[in-house]
Structure formats: C-alpha cells, structure tokens
Structure 1
Amino acid sequence: MDILEITGKDGLLTAIELQNAQDAVPLGRALIDGGLTVAEITFRTPAAAEAVKTMVQAYPEMIVGAGSIVQVKQAEQAVAAGAKFIVSAGFNPVLVDWCIEKNIPTLPGIATASEIMQAVIRDLKVLKFFPAEVMGGLNGLKALSAPFPGMKFIPMGGISAANMAEYLKLPYIHAIGGSWPVKKNLIAEGRYDEVTRLICEALAIFKEARMRR
C-alpha cells in the first residue's frame, strides 16, 4: 500500500499529539467510531513512539503513521514502534530517500516549487502543503500546483471544518489534514465523544464535497 492509498482511504489525516501514550487507546476507539482507519501520531512529545506502539497493538486494523518527523533517527524509532508511514513538515531529501529505500510510504511537506520538483524526480505522487493558510491558502496552492499536473496535495495548517470544503473543490486535493478534531484539550479532558463527533462532521463534509466535484 502506498501513501496515495493510505491517505485516500479516509480523506482526513489527523495530526495527533499525545502527552501520555495510554491515551492512544481511548483515542483510537474514538477515531474508529468516527469512521477513520488512518491515524498520524506526531513526534512532538517523548511519548510519541510508545503511543504509536500502543495504538498499533490495541487496534491492528488501523494504519498508524508518524508525523513531524525531522530526521532519519526518528523515522527508525517510529517504524520500530509500528508506524506504517512517515509524515514531515518539510522536505528533507535524506529522510525522503531513506523512506524510499526502505519502501516506507512518506508524505513530505512542501511550500515551494523547488521542493515539489525534488518530489517529482523521486516519483512521489502526493505531498503535504504546509502550513497551508500561512503559505497563501487556496490561491497559494493554485499557483504552486499549476506547473505540476498530476501531483496531489494534502493541505495542513489552518484547515478546519469551516474552510475544508473550499479546498476540496480543487481537483488536485487528495485529502485534508488537520488537528482540530483531536485537539490537545479534548484528549486531556477525556472528551472522546467530541473527537468522534468532529471526525464524523469532517468526513461528512469530505464526502459531500467529493460528490459535488
């Protein structure tokens, strides 16, 4: 399975930050109840690797990946914990090449045409546009994508239920990424029903937008 298949399964890639690895169990259930089969756990806390391992063991049916990966060492830790794909905020050629060599699906972040060209020569088919709203939002992505027909994008950064439908009107949007359904305060307060509700809401928007496109 490649990154196109993985991210296309749901249409929503949630960037999850966990302070406590054990929170991965109730959170994983909330994701599944909301209709997700894919989860991205960001490596922004010391608990990240253990959280990946915990979610993978609790829900083997889920495709769990690692996000905010900066260097190969982190990717190695993530894969050892059970991560099935690697997401990064920017385009690190060393990290991307390592993933390709190891046959690990990767979703690197881009914000310039030069970075997209680096992805093209490596035959990558889908990229993370980050931080989407800061880098010009819809207009920025339209301008960036024009010279690269066939490339698909997952915008992340400033995306929410309020604006995701506008992005989904673009034919080269493969999925939507964001952290709003899995906000840290919801996890800290154990409000997993709200997580499920927000995911259901986002998936409904995604499906409706795809039907209209």
Structure 2
Amino acid sequence: MDVEKLIEEYKIMPLVTLETSEMAEILGEALTECGLNIVEVTFRSDAAAGAIRILTEKFPNLLVGAGTVLTTGMVDQALEAGAKFILAPGFNREVVAYCQEKNVPVYPGCMTPTEIDMAYSMGLRTVKIFPFVPMGGLPVLKAVAAPYKMMKFVVTGGIKNENLAETLAYDKIISCGGSWLISGTKLKAGDKAGIVQDIKEAMKLVK
C-alpha cells in the first residue's frame, strides 16, 4: 500500500477525536458512503486506539492514520490497533526515528525552516504544517518552503471550505486535513446523514 499516494489522491483528510465505539462506527459508515476512505484519529481521548481498531477491522477499505502522536508508546498503540500512518503536532526526533524503524509513514508537525531542515536531514520529504492558517497560511508557507523544492506538505489548522480550493492549488500541498470536515456535534448525535452531506460538500470543492 502506497500510503502517501492515497493521501495525495484523496486531497482532504478528516481529523476526528472519537470517544465511543458508536461514534467510530457512524464515522466509518459515513466515510464509506461518500467514498472518502481516509481519516486521522487523534490520540486526544482514551478511546483512540479502540476507535482505530474498530475502523480498521469493520471498514477494511478505510486508510486510518493516528494523530496527535507524542511518544513511541503511542506509536505502538496506534500500530497495534491497525493505523497505517502517524501524524504528530510537532517534530520529535525520537518518534520520527521510531516510525522509520517500524517502516511506517510519519508526518511530523513543522512550522519553521529549522524544523523542515531537521525532517529533511532524517530522510523525510513530506511533513505536516501545523498550525497552517494561524501560522500565516499560504504566504508564509510559500516563503518558508522556497529553499526546500524537494519537500511536500500536509497542512492542518484553520482549513475550511472557504479556503480549501485556494490551499490545494499550491502544488507543494498534497492534502488538507482538519476537524471542519466532521462535525463533532453531528457525530455525537449520530447524525450520519448530516455528516455525509458535509463531507460531500467538501469533496465537490476538491473536484
């Protein structure tokens, strides 16, 4: 499985924090119905590993990544549950090296040339830019990325439908991720129809 190729093909990546198995099942059903078979499940709740396991076992076509991964222990939990890639909010050399040892794609969060340079020195050619919009959005990223013509980016933080097309138009950005794609309120309420409608609206903008 070429994880990065799939990330680039889908172009948008829902970011969710799941608290119950029911939420995981509703999410999996909604994503499958829309044909957006990718999701980042954050380790911001104790239910993260269990949710990843439900998604990977019940929805085998779903490409599930683990987000907010801060330690090598979290990497182990994520991989044991079935996650296929790792995202982190910052650059942690130990976590990056551990993922490389495990041969799992890892996208550490970077904001500065120094962090991008550190990632490049470890062999990475795609990193996560976080927080993208609060950092300054496209103008800042284009300036920071200028010396790094070999690098590509997954951007998260402040993305919404209104700036999605403009952001994806920058050829160094392979994916826009964020929580705007999945309403936490609708997810908790079990409103699968509402979630599907929101996802499809974003998918139209990508096409």
Q: TM-score, normalised by structure 2?
A: 0.96
Distance 1:21 1:194, change over 3 A: same
Residue aligning to 1:187: 187
Residue aligning to 2:56: 56
Tell me the distance in 1 between the aligned counterparts of 2:119 and 2:3. Answer: 13
Residue identity (%): 38
Aligned pairs for 1:4-23 (under 5 A) are: 4-23=4-23
Aligned pairs for 1:1-213 (under 5 A) are: 1-207=1-207
Tell me the distance in 2 between the aligned counterparts of 1:110 and 1:102. Answer: 21
Deviation at 1:47, TM superposition (A): 0.6
Tell me the distance in 1 between the aligned counterparts of 2:100 and 2:68. Answer: 18
Tell me the distance in 2 between the aligned counterparts of 1:120 and 1:2. Answer: 20
Deviation at 1:107, TM superposition (A): 1.2
Deviations, residues 61-103 of structure 1 (Å, cap 9, x unaligned):
1111111111110110111111111111111110001001110
8 Å contact kept, 2:41–2:52: yes
8 Å contact kept, 2:154–2:176: yes
Tell me the distance in 2 between the aligned counterparts of 1:109 and 1:183. Answer: 23
Deviation at 1:17, TM superposition (A): 0.7
> What is the aligned-residue RMSD (CA, Å)?
1.2
Residue ranges of structure 2 left out of the alignment (5+ in a row): none
Tell me the distance in 2 between the aligned counterparts of 1:5 and 1:28. Answer: 21
Residue ranges of structure 1 left out of the alignment (5+ in a row): 208-213
8 Å contact kept, 1:2–1:105: no
SS at match of 1:163: helix
